[in-house]
Amino acid sequence: MRKLLVLLLALMIADDLNAQNTSKKPNVIVFMADDMGYADTGFTGAKDILTPNLDALAANGVIFKQGYVNHAFCGPSRAALMSGRYPYRFGFETNPAYDPANPHMGIDTNEKLFPERMQEVGYTTGAVGKWHLGAAQEFHPNNRGFDYFYGFLGGGHDYFKIDLTKKVWEAYLQGLVRNKKPASFDGYLTTALSKDAAKFVADNKDEPFFLYVAYNAPHQPLQAPKEDIERYSHIKDKKRRVYAAMVDVMDRGIGEVVQSLKDNGIYENTLIFFLSDNGGPQPSTQNPKGGNASSNKPFRGGKGNMYDGGVHVPFIACWPNKIKAGTVYDYPVNSLDISRTAVEVAGADAYKTTKMEGVNLIPFVTGENKEAPHDYMYWRGGSKWSVLASDGTKHVKETKNPEMYYLPDDVSEANNILNKKSELAKKMYSKWVEWNENNIPCVLLGYKDYHKKRDAFYEQAIPPKAKTYNNK
């Protein structure tokens, strides 16, 4: 009888704890890879790279078959995610140069980033890894909605070392930052970021939190621990061998963060997203040895262009308390939806200051809402543009002339149907024009042009006598 009472008491306590966990606001984690190819996870078909932790998250949640980012390369894609708005609304259309002294080279300070919205309803917010939204004080993550930051402010970093004796340029060898103080790392950077993210989970387990884990893997430089590269000796292409090792270490790090959730009893009530910031970069006619050995199959193109290879990315969500395991979602979604979903499940305001543009994905993936989340989705990049309809029809201008494809029958964008569907093309283009009326021109110089102008300025600033002296 006593054993039965003990068992009943244990079950009552477990039920009470489960009820508390279910009623508590969910934690939210966004994992973002950098320059990762669509086909380089197990859940998207990779056979030569191991991603068991990502595959487990996919199996336990939802795979978005048409998951897109809102720009074809790093900075603007991240600006879209963080603001929850198309980055063209505020002129963020290129990668900002690393310049801690420039108060204009970053994301518009009038834009309300979504972590700040979550702070307002009691969430503790943390960012670990790559920022790339401005290096000056005005743009620092601690000033843009994050209570905690550990990582680097530029667009990339060496994976093994810091060397302050080298030219700064884009800061790949500069020190890291922990909140507002200089920081370093031991060993391999990806592993260091993962350990820090896992610690953030453990340190904040008692109250709802939002955590943004922005890896620079597998962005170049292609570097990985020797033992991990050796694990992929079966891959003949040496470049892809290193790339595979980088993805593998990132996947293991994601597993470490998920394990921290489980160890602290909060996994079931944590909404986890994973995606890449854009498609994997590919070799080109101009740069035949370029790219990072990623694969975007079966899509056309890669990082930097409007074909699906540039913007269609591996995209999943897992939330055991809400999302049924094994869900596959077919309608197009995009990264604006991630930030909108996070804000709405947190009970925060998506309209305050600047209106967020995505949708809350939860009613769609649970089947409560049967409609398509978006009638159309849009992209812009200089003279290039694209518009995608909910049925999979895509009108794109990547080269000199516009093209149109029906993706459900032509995922590789090989059969241009524009001439056969000219009226539909006109309608879709008019939709794009209407959307574009609410955008502004790019307000940033690309980082290469910026460095040239800055170097020219300093050269011009040297007094004539000093120039003469230096030339002797």
Q: What is the pLDDT of residues 13-27, one digit of tens each?
A: 444 444 444 469 999
Mean pLDDT value of segment 204-218: 98
Rounded mean pLDDT, 169-176: 96
Q: Any idea which architecture 26-365 has in CATH?
A: 3-Layer(aba) Sandwich (3.40)
- Per-residue pLDDT band for 12 (boundaries 50, 70, 90) equals very low
Structure-token pair, residue 365: 């993936």
Q: Band of the pLDDT at 468, cuts 50, 70, 90?
A: low
Identity of the residue numbered 421: K
Give the residue with greater pLDDT, 459 vs 175. 175
Per-residue pLDDT for 120 more than 70?
yes
Summary count for the chain: helices (H), strands (E): 13, 16
Q: Which helix (H) or strand (E) holds 74?
A: helix 74-83
The reported pLDDT for the residue numbered 463 is 77
> Quick one: pLDDT band at residue 288, thresholds 50, 70, 90?
confident
Q: What pLDDT is attached to residue 458?
A: 86
Contact in structure between 168 and 174 (CB atoms under 8 Å)? yes
* Mean confidence (pLDDT) of the chain: 94
Phi, psi of 15 (to 5 degrees): -65, -40
Question: Could you state, in order of their start, the residue ranges of all structural domains in the chain?
Answer: 26-365, 376-436
Task: Identify the active-site residue in 132, 140, 219, 374.
Answer: 132
For residue 366, the model assigns a pLDDT of: 98
- The residues pairing with 385 across neighbouring beta strands, listed in sequence order, are 380, 397
pLDDT at 65 over 70: yes
What is the per-residue DSSP string for 370-395? -S-S-SEEEEEETTEEEEEETTSEEE
Q: Do domains 26-365 and 376-436 have the same CATH topology?
A: no
Q: What is the pLDDT of residues 290-316, one digit of tens each?
A: 999 999 999 999 999 999 999 999 999
Q: What is the pLDDT of residue 460?
A: 87
Which candidate in 74, 157, 219, 318 is catalytic? 74
Is 132 annotated in the active site? yes
Asked whether the predicted pLDDT for residue 258 surpasses 50, the reply is yes
| HSE (side-chain half, CA atoms, 13 Å) at 27 | 30
Per residue in 44-57, pLDDT (tens digit) is 999 999 999 999 99
Task: Calculate what percentage of the chain has a pLDDT beyond 70.
Answer: 93
136 pLDDT more than 50: yes
Residue 36 pLDDT > 80: yes
Domain 376-436 has CATH 3.30.230.10: no
pLDDT confidence of residue 101? 95
**Preceding omega of 208 cis (within 30 degrees of 0):** no
- Angle subtended at Cα 97 by Cα 91 and Cα 102, rounded to the nearest 5 degrees: 85
Q: Tell me which long-range contacts 293-297 makes (C-beta under 8 A, separation of at least 24).
A: 293/222, 293/237, 293/239, 293/240, 293/242, 293/243, 294/35, 294/36, 294/37, 294/40, 294/218, 294/243, 295/37, 295/38, 295/39, 295/40, 295/46, 296/37, 296/38, 296/39, 297/38, 297/39, 297/45
Position 438 pLDDT exceeds 80: yes
What is the rounded average pLDDT of the residues 2-6? 48
pLDDT of the residue at 11: 45
State residue 210 phi and psi, 5-degree precision: -120, 130
